[in-house]
Amino acid sequence: MVNVQAPQAVVVMGVAGSGKTTIATLLAARIGGDFVDADDLHPAENVAKMATGTPLTDDDRWPWLAEVGTVIREHLAAGRPVVVACSALRRLYREAIIASAGAPVRFAHLDRSYELIAARMAARAGHFMPTGLLDSQFATLEPLEPDEPGFAVAIDGSPDATAEAIAFRLDDARKASPA
């Protein structure tokens, strides 16, 4: 296990099919944190809308993003590190999460090609997000800017290797931060 100072909040972000849930679960275990899947925080109306292939609007997302931030805040208040799997595709969405959390949040953007992610989505079963919405996910995606708290990580290796790479980046950032 990498020595990462606790508590901290990490959002593993990216488009549908990038491996957020798998990698965030592995990362939470590595840093001794709790795992939260932001998909579980969507209201039923959002899930139903996505299941029919209809992209969410920003109005659909704002209450959900506020809930993601609230869950982060609750974990940190309890002294528990938390790793959240959440698309957080736009800068405004990431800012909404941070504002609701009321605490520092780091973002790890799972980054790779449309073709790789489309193939992964096509291979998975039982998820409410249909492959047809991948185009809208990529159209919405705003990669992290240099002034945002986080970094991109390539997902062409195994999920274990990706989670380990994120944990090392978090540990490096912790060591570089003034105490």
On whether residue 59 sits in a domain, the answer given is: yes
On whether residue 178 sits in a domain, the answer given is: no
Q: What is the pTM assigned to this prediction?
A: 0.86
On whether residue 14 sits in a domain, the answer given is: yes
CATH at 134 = 3.40.50.300
- Which residues span the domain enclosing 142? 9-172
Where would I find the beta strands (DSSP E) of the chain? 9-13, 34-37, 82-85, 106-111, 150-154
Domains held by the chain: number: 1
Q: What pLDDT does residue 128 have?
A: 45
The yes-or-no verdict on residue 6 having pLDDT over 50 is: no
Omega before residue 43 within 30° of 0, cis: no
Least confident of 110-114, 131-135, 167-171: 131-135
The yes-or-no verdict on residue 80 having pLDDT over 60 is: yes
Q: For the residues of 23-47, what is the DSSP string, one character each? A: HHHHHHHHHT-EEEEGGGGS-HHHH
CA dist 172 and 25 (Å) reads: 20
- What is the mean pLDDT of the segment spanning 160-179? 82
Distances (CA, A) of 42 to 57, 65, 94, 120: 13, 9, 16, 23
Length of the chain as a residue count: 179
In this predicted model, what pLDDT tens digit does every residue of 26-55 receive, in sequence order? 999 999 999 999 999 999 999 888 888 787
Distances (CA, A) of 120 to 43, 48, 51, 65, 155: 26, 22, 18, 25, 11
The yes-or-no verdict on residue 178 having pLDDT over 60 is: no
- What is the mean pLDDT of the segment spanning 49-66? 88
Q: What percent of the chain has pLDDT over 70?
A: 83
- What is the mean pLDDT of the segment spanning 101-122? 83
